[in-house]
Amino acid sequence: MMAAASAAATQALANPPGDVFVISTLYARHRTVPAYGLAALQRLIDAVKPEVLVLDVTPTELRDRKVWPGKVEYTEVIFPYLDATGAPAFGSEPDGALFTELTGAAGQAYKAFGERNPAGAKALDELKQATYRAMAAGWASAADVNSAKTDQLVAAMRELEEGLVGGAAARVQQQWDQHHADRLRDVVRAHPGKRVLMLVGIESRHRVLRNLQSAGEVRIVDTEAWLRRAGL
């Protein structure tokens, strides 16, 4: 009994209630990145033991369990986890008219960029693919994917992309990522003292974290350090 109590106390100390974890997902790349495959994501979620989840799907997608086909982690890992545990979950992507507005504006911006600068559009796509291959070659763990170094690389890539595509694309992405951060804050306020796990696309994580840190009202776990201590 004392051993069990000690183990429980150790787990609580390592993973106290009220902490918020913001974790990157890779969508279809989970199938091709050995260090951060679907099994690794499952181990990470099991280790965090979230009491509440915030997910980068729309509330409608979460309710209907139908997501964009590239988000393989949802059908393979996350939805089964929710079914098995009954943990409450909330979608943080814009929904309804706002979703249509933002995705439409982004689509128009990228279409216009491709038409006015086809060579630049091709070069940007090649750069992104090469950057992800290079990052994947250097990733040895989930901690590497969720590291400050990775965030810096992705942030630089996003800055270059938004600069090339134009102001409309940058504004849409900033509004999209702010929406993620705002929804997470709403969930934390509504579930005081609960351990919350946010899963968000890797290209949004750095800006979501910056938005949360600037507000200063959410206790964000240093995910990279926590994952390294956990051996993940």
Are 200 and 180 contacting, i.e. CB atoms less than 8 angstroms apart? yes
Identify which has the larger pLDDT, 167 or 198.
198
What pLDDT does 223 receive?
93
Q: Please, what is the Cα angle at 225 between 221 and 226, to 5 degrees?
A: 60
- Token pair belonging to 205: 């994580």
Given a cut of 50, whether residue 137 has pLDDT beyond it is yes
pLDDT tier, 5 (very low <50, low <70, confident <90, very high otherwise): very low
CA distance 213 to 190: 19
Identify the bridge partners of residue 20 per DSSP, sorted by sequence position: 196, 220
Least-confidence region, from 146-150, 210-214, 219-223: 210-214
Q: Per residue in 108-124, pLDDT tens?
A: 988 988 999 999 999 99
SS3 for 10-64, per residue?
HHHHHCCCCCEEEEEECHHHHHCCHHHCHHHHHHHHHHHCCCEEEECCCHHHHHH
Given a cut of 70, whether residue 38 has pLDDT beyond it is yes
What pLDDT does 96 receive?
86
What pLDDT does 123 receive?
94
Given a cut of 80, whether residue 153 has pLDDT beyond it is yes
Identify the bridge partners of residue 196 per DSSP, sorted by sequence position: 20, 52
CA distance 94 to 130: 30
Where do runs of H (alpha helix) occur along the chain? 2-14, 38-48, 59-64, 72-73, 79-85, 96-116, 118-138, 142-145, 148-165, 167-190, 202-215, 223-229
Q: The pTM is what? A: 0.85
pLDDT tier, 217 (very low <50, low <70, confident <90, very high otherwise): confident
Q: What is the mean pLDDT of the chain?
A: 88
Q: In the predicted model, what is the mean pLDDT of residues 89-101? A: 89
What pLDDT does 32 receive?
92
- Token pair belonging to 52: 């509440």
| Residues above pLDDT 90, as percent of the chain | 70
